[in-house]
């Protein structure tokens, strides 16, 4: 099996990797996410109940 740890092409960036939960978000981004979630809930549950 090949040893892939010898290659340096995976280290082309000098900064540390940051995952999404660690990144800061603005209140506008949070509001957009909440609106998208509410629209998704409405489409998934409320619209089918109205069509019954």
In a domain, 45, yes or no: yes
| Structural domain count of the chain | 1
Domain containing 32: what range? 26-52
Mean confidence (pLDDT) of the chain: 79
Q: How far apart are CA 11 and CA 16, in angstroms?
A: 10
Give the tokens for residue 10: 């995976």
Give the model's confidence band at 8: pLDDT under 50 very low, under 70 low, under 90 confident, else very high: low
Global model pTM greater than 0.95: no
% of the chain residues with pLDDT over 70:
58
In a domain, 42, yes or no: yes
Q: How far apart are CA 25 and CA 32, in angstroms?
A: 11
Q: How far apart are CA 39 and CA 47, in angstroms?
A: 11
Whether the pLDDT of residue 9 is over 80: the answer is: no
Q: How far apart are CA 32 and CA 40, in angstroms?
A: 12
In a domain, 16, yes or no: no
In a domain, 46, yes or no: yes
Q: How far apart are CA 47 and CA 2, in angstroms?
A: 54
In a domain, 39, yes or no: yes
The string of pLDDT tens digits covering residues 15-36 is: 676 666 667 889 999 999 999 9
In a domain, 4, yes or no: no
């Amino acid at each position: 099996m090949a040893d892939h740890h010898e290659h340096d092409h995976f280290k082309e960036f000098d900064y540390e990797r940051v995952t999404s939960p660690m990144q800061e978000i603005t209140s506008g981004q949070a509001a957009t996410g909440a609106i998208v979630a509410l629209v998704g809930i409405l489409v998934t549950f409320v619209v089918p109940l109205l069509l019954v």
